[in-house]
Structure formats: C-alpha cells, structure tokens
Amino acid sequence: MTDHEKPSATGDIAAKTATAATAATAATAATAATAATVATGETVDASEYWKSLCDRLADLAGDSGIGTGLGIALSGGVDSSLLLAAAVEALGPDRVAAFTAVTPFAVPGEEEAARCSARAAGVQWMRVEISESDMEPVLANGPDRCYDCKRVILGAMEQAALNRGVSVMVEGTNPDEASGQHRPGLRAVVEMGVYSPYLELGISRAVIESLALERDLPSARALSQSCMATRIPTGIPITSQALSAALAVEGFLADSGMCGFRARVHGNLLRIEAPEVEMEAYLREPFRSVLLETASRQGFEFVTIDLKGYRPSGPGSQVRKQY
C-alpha cells in the first residue's frame, strides 16, 4: 500500500446521480422493514445480509469497466470497515482500493484506524488530504455544513479514484443514520453519484455490528465517533482554536474514565453533554476542580453540564449567544 500525493479537491467527477437517487429512494421501504425487525428484538439472519452485500458490491464492480473494481470511502469506523471487508470477499483485494479523507475536522486516531483496516484487508490505501482552504464553505458553519463538507470530501476522493482507474465509489451510510433526521450530507452523496449499499439493502447498524463482530474487525469494538465540527453550534464560524479547545476537554474527560460525552463550544461557554448516570460524577471533587481548571486553560469562562444529556445529533443546540 502506498500513501499517495495530495489530489486536487476539484475535477471532473463521474456522473451517476440518477442511479444513486433511484437506489436511495428504493431503499426507504427496506429500511423501515429492517428497523422494525430489529426493534422487536427478533433474531436477524445476518448471513443473508452479508451475501446480499457481497453480491451488490460485485454487481457494482461489474459495472465499473476496466481498472480496479471499487473504491471504498474508508473512515476506519465499523460501517466503512465492514464495507471494505465485503468488497474484498466479493472481488479480491486487487480489485478494491480504499480512500481516506484527512480534514481539519478529523477525530484523532481516525486516519490510523483507516490505514490499519486497509492494511489488514490487503488493499491499496490512499490518503486524501483536504486543506482548510478547501473547506471554506464548511468553516462558515451554515445549516448545510454537512452537505458542503461531504461534497468537498467526495469530490476529492472521486478525483483521486479516477486518477487511478477507479470509476465506482461506495460509502457506508446506514439506514439508522438516514431515517427521520436532517441529513444534508446524504443529499451530497446522492448528487455525487456515490453508492450506499447499506441503504439500498436496508442493512441496519445492528446488523453491521453483528457482521463486524463475526469477522473480528477491530472497529467492531471501537467507540462511535463523530466529526469534530459537530462541537460547534450551527451558525457560529468554526475556528481551529475552538476545535482545539473541544479536543483538549474531551481528551481530559476520556483520560479521566468518562464516556458517552461531547464538549460543545459556545464562545467562552463550554457545554458538556454526558449520560444522565454520570452527571453527578462531574460535580464531585477533585474532578470538578480539575475540569474547571482544564476548561479555563482553553479559554472558557463558564462550564455547564447539559441536563438533556448526550445527543448524537447535537452540533447544534440553539444556544448561540456569546456569554
């Protein structure tokens, strides 16, 4: 595997929008059925989903023409890592390439996790670096931030893929992520013509995790992460200083044994989302004093524990006032 040069974030991208849009629309009924099955607690035959996934990836590779069959948008998380494993089983490692975007919003350890997944799968891995200047629309942090970000990332990935003879890209959005939430990033996936096999086949997160555990993928046991940009409420411009402050606080919380938290930055106010069962622990000494000291070093004058607790969708909060 080779760590290739930085590709441009622009270029002519293969147009597969209509096909992807049709697939995303067709997935709705399958998604609902799968979610209902999992919600009832019934046993799901994950092996059937695995076969369907491998078959679908083989079909996509068959449509790709010459060159490497498939490009995988690989973050290193469980969704994309399982997608990579399925592609390798369906096609063999020589017909699969993995692309990892490295952005100013990357979670620490994400790049190395992706590199390790690609190495374990035996596929070619390419690091696609995206600079802060490429991300200017994202830094403005408008309501469509995720849409802008996904278009930049996928555009860079697809250009890097085309440069290496890969014409079909797939990514790992699952039905749980797409159902009942504002997901502008998914709109960008469809527009860019990138395929989402989990959505097409109605493969839920529960099934993905089950399949990953069966195959002993390291990512199956990793904690779920989210883009660091989610630490800044929508409407407040994203700065490297704010991201660094959130990262420092979250690093302290992790080192202290806390879990299930997010540090949201509202100017000079730090809002911590934590599980209800752990809220009391934040008020105990000496932890409370050390937390306040850590926050103060990052420029925060106020520290609050959000009584609503941790909310995965919460970049946003409507608290935008500078305190």
Residue ranges of the chain assigned to CATH 3.30.1340: 228-306
Q: At 66, is the pLDDT very low, low, confident or very high (cuts 50, 70, 90)? A: low
CATH number 3.30.1340 given to 228-306: yes
pLDDT of 65: 52
Q: What is the mean pLDDT of residues 229-253?
A: 96
313: left (phi over 0), alpha (psi -120 to 50) or beta: alpha
Q: At 44, is the pLDDT very low, low, confident or very high (cuts 50, 70, 90)? A: low
16-25, 62-71, 102-111: range with lowest mean pLDDT: 16-25
Residue ranges of the chain assigned to CATH 3.40.50.620: 17-221
Which residue reads 């085309």 in tokens? 162
Q: Which fold has domain 17-221?
A: Rossmann fold (3.40.50)
pLDDT of 4: 46
pLDDT tens track for 164-203: 999 999 999 999 888 766 788 999 999 999 999 999 999 9
Residue 3 predicted with pLDDT over 70? no
